[in-house]
Amino acid sequence: MPHSLLGKRVLVTGANGFLGSRLCAALTAKGATTAGLVRTNPGPRAFLLARDFSNIENILTEFKPDAVVHTATRSTAGRTADELGDMIRSNIEFPSHLLLAMEKQSIRHLVNCSSSWQAINGDRFEPFNFYAATKQACEDIITDFTHRGLRSISFRLFDSYGPDDTRGKILQLVVDAVLGQRPLQMSPGYQKLALVHIDDICRAFEQALLRLDNQTVPAHEIFSVCSASLVTLRELVIMVEGITGLRASIEFGARPYRPLEIMDPRTTYPLIPGWAPGIDLEKGLRDCIAASRRSRSRHVNG
């Protein structure tokens, strides 16, 4: 199996998202030639995707990637017809068009971003919500394309985090509440989280791109990207308090648990060979808190 990404051409979908943007930077640092595929605000190294996906094949022809990393996704909390339709279009229709264009251009390598929410009680498909159901559908469609020469790895991601995360995830909500000394209403807080730093996640994707060159492994493999240990939401708050030296005003139990709340995230899907999480949670939290303090300082001084 190759040990370097030097010279590999990689197209990253969702390149202006939290994972996609970090991944583009990480792959470039390892010597890969990267380009992004985005729906809005394309940067100097990104292609703008048409609303009807009609220009995907032209983009592949122009960039000529060796592999595609699919991180683009759409998740909404609501269940209106428009919201469900948007998730179907983004999470099922778009990757289907992408895979067809890849097949026409003989691009055989794909790394796909899936979700641990696809199996709330282990590994048997039982979706947490509609979003998770669409991610499962995408995996099934990928499997169909492997019968025509595609080689793919899908990652079941758990709780990703990192500095300057603007997605409104629970960790950042806690950090912002503690630093801002604002009350925050939360569930009882006994659910466990499997937090994995974004830099560790990027290393897993790098390993996947190398593994796809190995013709002896199955055409579509599924791996988990999970932390070695779990932490409850209450324990996470205590850690943030300890690092900041500030007392949180968290109202535990002010909100109920979500329907089908995953209290103890588990999986039997293995980690990809050659990878394990390496960033300690306390160090990762310190990085996030430092970034949040810098952001707050810029806001005040600006």
pLDDT digits (tens, 9 = 90+) for 70-115: 999 999 988 899 999 999 999 999 999 999 999 999 999 999 999 9
Q: Which amino acid is at 214?
A: N
Confidence category of residue 228, pLDDT binned at 50, 70, 90: confident
Range of the domain at 295: 9-231+245-301
Q: 164 and 18 in contact (C-beta within 8 Å)?
A: no
Question: What CATH number did the domain enclosing 17 receive?
Answer: 3.40.50.720
Number of domains forming the structure of the chain: 1
CB 32 within 8 A of CB 69: no
Q: 193 in helix, strand or coil?
A: strand
- Whether residue 240 lies inside any domain: the answer is no
Asked if residue 220 belongs to a domain, the reply is yes
The burial of 266, by beta-carbon neighbours within 10 Å (0-12 exposed, 13-18 middle, 19 or more buried), is given as middle
Query: pLDDT confidence of 2, banded at 50, 70, 90?
Result: low
Rounded to whole angstroms, the Cα distance separating 179 from 170 reads 14
- Note whether residue 122 is domain-resident: yes
Give the span between the Cα atoms of 52 and 112, in whole angstroms.
21
In a domain, residue 237? The reply is no
> With contact defined as beta carbons under 8 Å apart, do 139 and 110 qualify?
no
The pLDDT value given to residue 95: 98
Alpha helices in the chain, H assignment, sequence order: 18-29, 56-63, 81-88, 94-104, 130-146, 170-180, 198-211, 233-244, 281-301
Calculate ∠ Cα 176-289-174, nearest 5°.
Answer: 35
Per-residue HEC secondary structure of 247-269 comes to CCEEEECCCCCCCCCCCCCCCCC
Please report which confidence band the pLDDT of residue 301 belongs to, taking 50, 70 and 90 as the band edges: low
Tokens read off for 197:
């730093």
Q: How far apart are CA 197 and CA 284, in angstroms?
A: 7
pTM equals 0.95
183, part of any domain: yes
CB 158 within 8 A of CB 117: no
Would you tell me the crossing angle of helices 198-211 and 18-29 to the nearest 10 degrees?
Answer: 60
Checking DSSP bridges between strand 33-38 and strand 183-186, what pairing results, if any? unpaired
Element (H, E) at 223: strand 220-225
| 2 domain residue, yes or no | no
265-286: per-residue pLDDT in tens? Answer: 988 899 999 999 999 999 999 9
Q: Judge whether residue 300 has pLDDT over 70.
A: no
DSSP-derived letter for residue 50 is P
pLDDT at 140 > cutoff 60: yes
Residue 1 lies inside a defined structural domain of this protein: no
Residue 4 in any domain: the answer is no
| pLDDT at residue 283, as a whole number | 97
Q: How confident is the model at residue 44 (pLDDT cuts 50, 70, 90)?
A: confident
179 half-sphere exposure, CB direction, 13 A CA radius: 18
Judged against a pLDDT cut of 60, whether residue 1 lies above it is answered with no
pLDDT digits (tens, 9 = 90+) for 174-206: 999 999 999 999 999 999 999 999 999 999 999
Strand bridging mode 151-157 / 220-225: parallel
d(CA 277, CA 19): 16
The pLDDT of 237-263, averaged and rounded, is 96
Q: Is the pLDDT of residue 213 over 80?
A: yes
Residue 175's closest CA among 22, 294, 298, 23? 294
